[in-house]
Amino acid sequence: MSTSYRHRPGRRLAAAAVSVLAAVTLAACGSGGGSGSDSAGAAPGGTPVSGGRLKIAFYGDLQGCIDPNQVYWIESRSIDRNIADSLTDQDPKTGKIVPWLATSWTVNPQATEFTFRLRDGVTFSDGTRLDAAAVKTALDGTHDLGARSILGVTYLAGYQATTVVDPTTVKVDFSQPNAGFLQATSTTTLAILSPATYRETPEARCAGKVIGSGAFTLDTYSAGRSVKITRRAGYAWPSSLVTNKGAAHLDGIDVSYIGEDSVRVGSLTNGTIDIAWPRQPISSADQQVITASGATIETRALPGIAGILTPNVTAGRPLADVAVRKAVQKALDLDSYAKTVFWDDYPVARSPLTSTTPYFTDESAKLTHDPAGAAKLLDGAGWTLGSDGYRHSGGRKLTLTYITPTPSPGDQLIQDQLKKVGIDLQIKVLTIAQLTPQANAGSYDLVATYLTRADPSVLGSAIDQAVSKQYTARYSQDPATAAQVSRLFVTGQSTVDPQRRASAYQDLQNYLVDNAVVFPLYDRVQTAGVSKKVHGFAWTSEAFLRANDIWLST
């Protein structure tokens, strides 16, 4: 389950952001697990006061969209969490699903039918009342987005219909088991918006035509420039995880975007902003600067897919041979990666899922650095070490092309580790506009991805060919492997029984590692620098900002 902890700075610098955004799905990142200094509400000995606008600086806004149902970009999802409510919520400490807009629910044994009883007295910010018809409109509308809702496609896999049972009861039916749907109802992707929102075009919704029932309302959204949200008077229906049961303490939140880490940190320490929220973990050096100013470092380990590489196993390419893939796996030194790119005590990848994901299985014994074993596998596969230090077969050098939108020390480290066993890794830097068509065409050997969701079914978004059309799924498995991967996903989605789900996802993680279907690189951690003026900071289970309890001191 998701756990919380406070990170203590290590000795090494995180020299630069690690490049793992390889296009739309790859940019879909999120967060998941950490502690807030006052996450239960008031600071110790302090009484919350109303007023003031919280100033947050995010790294960027790559997607340029603010519609909760369409957004995959984590920073936008943090904003969305405060303007749009969901049927359920998820406890960041335990992973348990708890009531929010729905007061209770039942699930049939096949995990194909979910019935929700709705909370009374909830309204959207346009005055429309929440009822069963509104929930049906929202779920139908999100499903109808299709590929525009990259996350929704898998969250709603097999969606058939939502039926209005009575004004406060809805029944959601699936044509296939979807046990992960209950957790999906806690996410911003399946947030329930006002029916008026679904009369807008998807483009208009991305640009800000969204109406939620949250504690804040969206005032303005300028993609990549700024966002302003304002406290909603009369709000009185937070999830059971929130201490403040009424309107937010803050007058509102002002969001800006600062791409340079040093500028963002400087803005925090000089008081221009209240929260510095980077894309990659704050380096040890910057953490020391921040804490020296009296601010704190808030940290949550992210649930979901770890930072991984997915191979292209198309016939004729080097990674079509499982022996070569296993050699790559043995050549990777994950412990060194964590220490070199991040810091000494940074969590090391131990599975394709991060360690805070429900049903995580520790695969570290199979992911140990073993260059001698890699060499033996390559010898057996017919790749002979040449005088140039690289492997050759049939007059061809063992070269793998890794495509990425941004080069980083992490990429170079992988290149060095593979070179030690005779593999030539060519790093090909592309713009997103260039990368997407090249990846879709399968013109690569390795590509990176990750994705945040506090449910193990998240892996399906990247690699299950039965539900995903992304190149990370399409090219990473031969037909026999793909069939087995999909079977294991179906097993995990076919029951809500915790023990049966645990067994299924353990089998899945074992299979993925045993067959080198993916290559875990690093666990993911979300960090934020928070001014000493900020009290009540809290993460959601997926490491988005929950601002209901935040208040500012002078």
Amino acid of residue 212: G
What's the pTM value of the predicted model, to 2 decimals?
0.84
- For residue 276, the cross-strand partners are 57, 529
Task: Compute CA distances 499 → 133, 229, 496, 504, 505, whole Å.
Answer: 35, 42, 9, 9, 10
- Separation between Cα atoms, residue 331 and residue 309, nearest integer Å: 13
Task: Compute CA distances 267 → 186, 283, 289, whole Å.
Answer: 33, 16, 12
Give the residue from 409, 412, 415, 429 showing the smallest Cα distance to 328.
Answer: 415
- Separation between Cα atoms, residue 159 and residue 174, nearest integer Å: 4
CA atoms within 13 A on the CB side of 343: 19
Q: From the first residue on, what is the mean pLDDT of each consecutive set of 10 residues in the chain (554 residues)?
A: 33 32 34 38 67 97 96 94 98 93 97 98 98 98 94 92 98 96 97 98 98 98 97 97 97 97 97 96 94 95 94 98 98 97 92 93 97 98 97 97 90 97 97 94 96 92 88 97 96 92 96 98 95 97 96 93
- For residue 170, the cross-strand partners are 116, 164
- Separation between Cα atoms, residue 159 and residue 76, nearest integer Å: 25
95 is written with which tokens?
Answer: 């992973």
Domain boundaries, given as residue ranges, for the chain: 24-39+50-302+526-552, 304-523
What pLDDT is stored for residue 360 in this prediction?
94
Architecture of domain 24-39+50-302+526-552: 3-Layer(aba) Sandwich (3.40)
What pLDDT is stored for residue 16 in this prediction?
31
Q: What is the DSSP string of 266-319?
A: HHHHTTS-SEEE-SSPPPHHHHHHHHHTT-EEEEEEPPEEEEEEEE---TTSGG
Sign, Cα dihedral of 331, 335, 336, 342? positive
Architecture of domain 304-523: Roll (3.10)
What pLDDT is stored for residue 38 in this prediction?
40
What pLDDT is stored for residue 544 in this prediction?
94
